[in-house]
Amino acid sequence: MVLKYLIRENSYYDSVTLMIITREVKKIEGVKEVIVGMGTELNKELTGNLNLLTPELQKITPNDFFISLDSVDDNIAKKAFAFVDELLSKKKAESEDYQPSTFESALKYMPDANLVLISLPGKYAVREAKNALLNDKHVMLFSDNVPLEEEIDLKKLAKQRRLLMMGPDCGTAIINHVALAFSNVIRKGPIGIVGASGTGIQEVTVMIDKLGSGISQAIGTGGRDLKAKVGGIMMIEGLKALQNDPLTEVIVLISKPPDKEVARKVLSILKERQKPSVVYFAGGDPEVIKEYGSVPGLSLEDTARKAVAIAKGMSIKDFTGFTVTNINKIIQEETKKLNKKQRYIRGLYTGGTLCDEAMIILSALVGDIYSNIPLKPEGKLSDINKSYRHSLIDFGDDEFTRGKPHPMIDPYVRQERILSEVKDREIAIILMDFVLGFGSNSDPVGEMIPYIKKARKIAAKDGRHICMISSVCGTEADPQSLIGQEKKLKEEGVIVMPSNAQAVRLAAAIVLSRRNSQ
Amino acid sequence: MTRINELFQEELKIINMGLESFNENLKKQNVKTVQVDWKPPTRRNKKMLSLLDKLK
């Protein structure tokens, strides 16, 4: 073991850039372990876990850049350090544009800027967001770890100045057909969306596109907007803007379970104007939505289907089935391949709302579901790294992402997890989402394929078949190409369903069919 | 008309603070952007910033 490190004080690079560099350096032959990062407490902890921490590295601050590397010899270490510099300078050369060092100087450079997109570490992000609002700029705040009280202050300030304050923790928005942060390329159309959920917006917009319609705007609010304390400030402001927007004919609202009073407040504003609307409040009571004259969405796909039906003047029907024609054959064939002990579903999710949706659909069909983000407190996994019975994991939740890029960018945690899941002899089905679009990994399926193969080999050693079911949230216009991503999965024998809801229903149908055949 | 509705009729011009990949994605969509070369404040600057915030 040759342990080498390098520290550069006061040199800052963002976490995604450094993750990409770490992965490139790991590919060098002779490099055993490496971390390229900023000196945050979390990075120091990770460095310690990999036995790469030295007393010097222990002293560095989050403002300091470092490389710590274990390699077979000195030459490899030298080569790796030079490669890091090469990648960093390449990065600089790519961004030849003038880069002002503060918001104020950026404003002088682009005084007519109308939106500020902020993804700085939470504690610095609030200050910059406030500054942007005070300068009459709309804000999309991607950063999380912002205290609720600060979110309320920012949203109150935005409301007072009649500006958008999307976030904190707002991952998805499409404004004037520009895909911001994690968003898909969706055609133009008459459906306007306000959503308190990133992947919820992604799945609904993608389904709208697949059904041949399109969107006017998709406004994100951040996941806590409909909590009692925040009071739906930004959902209401966004909703009013869509009501006044001549290009929006149908309004869609998406949220995780909202506070009941806030839900009623939002629904009553929706009722005031004559635009038809579809509302998906995950796990909420459809009757309350009907009471206010809106159409309840039963799943994200059903929400999109109903919105498109309204936009096209077609009749509105509940959709809780399949659009795949040979579905019964698939269920029968997969059931046959499973042995008697195989009975559980393991969902490995990168999208939080997709995971929520899956738990809602599954719990109604197969019973109790365990998770790191459970529907009920008793469903909480005692150890998030160990699944139990039917378990669905959201790898995008804070417990997995602290100080690391989101699993839609860095699939590492899911890659490792699929290998440990398949060792469990009671599992029948692995359920996975793949989210495409700007912001996401350039080849999310390609990143998982080697691990899908390894997982299959592990199970095959003792004669087990694992049924793998997926859905790909993306459009053909997305940078990753939907068809190409789906093709790769099919080639590995992974069943690809047209939506998350259908993927989940198929998983349930196979488990129930297995149960009934015993 | 609110400012949000005004925004719907304008060309987006974006100041990006943070992940450069977001800025690159915006450029791929032909959006006018400026990337802020942000760095965490040093300890001395932090004191200054907190004093400035108190004055606001």
> Each residue of A370-406: pLDDT tens digit?
999 999 999 999 999 999 999 999 999 888 887 678 8
Q: Residue B30's closest chain A neighbor by CA?
A: A178
Angle between helices A198-210 and A300-311 (to 10 degrees): 50
User: For residue A8, which residues of chain B lie inside 8 Å, CB to CB?
Assistant: none
Query: How far is the C-alpha of A195 from the C-alpha of A198, rounded, in Å?
Result: 7
Tokens of A57: 């590295």
The nearest CA of chain B is from the CA of A159 a distance in Å of: 10
Query: How far is the C-alpha of A436 from the C-alpha of A476, rounded, in Å?
Result: 10
Query: How far is the C-alpha of A243 from the C-alpha of A258, rounded, in Å?
Result: 21
Tokens of A264: 């009623």
User: For residue A110, which residues of chain B lie inside 8 Å, CB to CB?
Assistant: 13, 15, 32, 34
Kindly give the parts of chain A with pLDDT less than 50. none
Contact between chains at A116 and B15 (C-beta distance less than 8 A): yes
Asked if A113 contacts A136 with a C-beta cutoff of 8 angstroms, the reply is no
Specify which residues A108 forms β-bridges with.
Answer: none
pLDDT digits (tens, 9 = 90+) for A409-421: 989 899 999 999 9
pLDDT digits (tens, 9 = 90+) for A110-157: 999 999 999 998 889 999 999 999 999 999 999 988 999 999 999 999
Q: Hey, is A191 helix, strand or coil?
A: strand
Contact between chains at A180 and B22 (C-beta distance less than 8 A): yes
Contact between chains at A439 and B21 (C-beta distance less than 8 A): yes
Q: Residue B8's closest chain A neighbor by CA?
A: A176
Nearest by CB to residue B16, choosing from A102, A117, A245, is: A117
Asked if A486 contacts A472 with a C-beta cutoff of 8 angstroms, the reply is yes
Query: How far is the C-alpha of A391 from the C-alpha of A488, rounded, in Å?
Result: 26
Phi, then psi, of A262 in degrees rounded to 5: -65, -40
Contact between chains at B4 and A62 (C-beta distance less than 8 A): no
The nearest CA of chain B is from the CA of A103 a distance in Å of: 7
Asked if A423 contacts A505 with a C-beta cutoff of 8 angstroms, the reply is no
Query: How far is the C-alpha of A95 from the C-alpha of A327, rounded, in Å?
Result: 49
Fill in the amino acid letter for A480: Q
Tokens of A457: 């080999």
The nearest CA of chain B is from the CA of A503 a distance in Å of: 30
Tokens of A375: 């529907």
Cis amide prior to A374 (ω within 30 degrees): no
pLDDT(B51) > 70: no
The pLDDT, as a whole number, for residue A399 is: 84
Specify which residues A173 forms β-bridges with.
Answer: A180
* Cα dihedral sign, A104-A106-A111-A115: negative
Query: How far is the C-alpha of A400 from the C-alpha of A164, rounded, in Å?
Result: 29
State the pTM of this model. 0.91
Nearest by CB to residue B36, choosing from A94, A103, A138, is: A103
Q: Which has the closest alpha carbon to A192: A210, A174, A179?
A: A174
Q: Work out how many domains chain B is built from and give that number.
A: 1
Query: How far is the C-alpha of A32 from the C-alpha of A180, rounded, in Å?
Result: 37
Nearest by CB to residue A237, choosing from B4, B28, B29, is: B4
Q: Residue A120's closest chain B neighbor by CA?
A: B18
User: What letters, b where the CB count within 10 A reaches 16 and e where it falls short, cover A242-267?
Assistant: bbebeebbbbbbbbbebbeebbebbb
Angle between helices A500-516 and A300-311 (to 10 degrees): 130
**Three-state DSSP string of A58-74:** HCCCCCCEEEEEEECCH
The pLDDT, as a whole number, for residue A63 is: 84
Domain with B9 in it: 3-53
User: For residue B37, which residues of chain A lie inside 8 Å, CB to CB?
Assistant: 99-101
The pLDDT, as a whole number, for residue B11 is: 97
Query: How far is the C-alpha of A419 from the C-alpha of B25, rounded, in Å?
Result: 32
Specify which residues A371 forms β-bridges with.
Answer: A380, A392
Nearest by CB to residue A106, choosing from B15, B25, B29, is: B15
The pLDDT, as a whole number, for residue A518 is: 67
Tokens of A321: 């089935």
Query: How far is the C-alpha of A68 from the C-alpha of A103, rounded, in Å?
Result: 32
Residue A83 per-residue DSSP state: H
User: For residue A91, which residues of chain B lie inside 8 Å, CB to CB?
Assistant: 20
Cβ of A83: how many Cβ atoms within 10 Å? 16
* Cα dihedral sign, A362-A363-A367-A369: positive
User: For residue B22, which residues of chain A lie inside 8 Å, CB to CB?
Assistant: 117, 119, 142, 180-181, 439
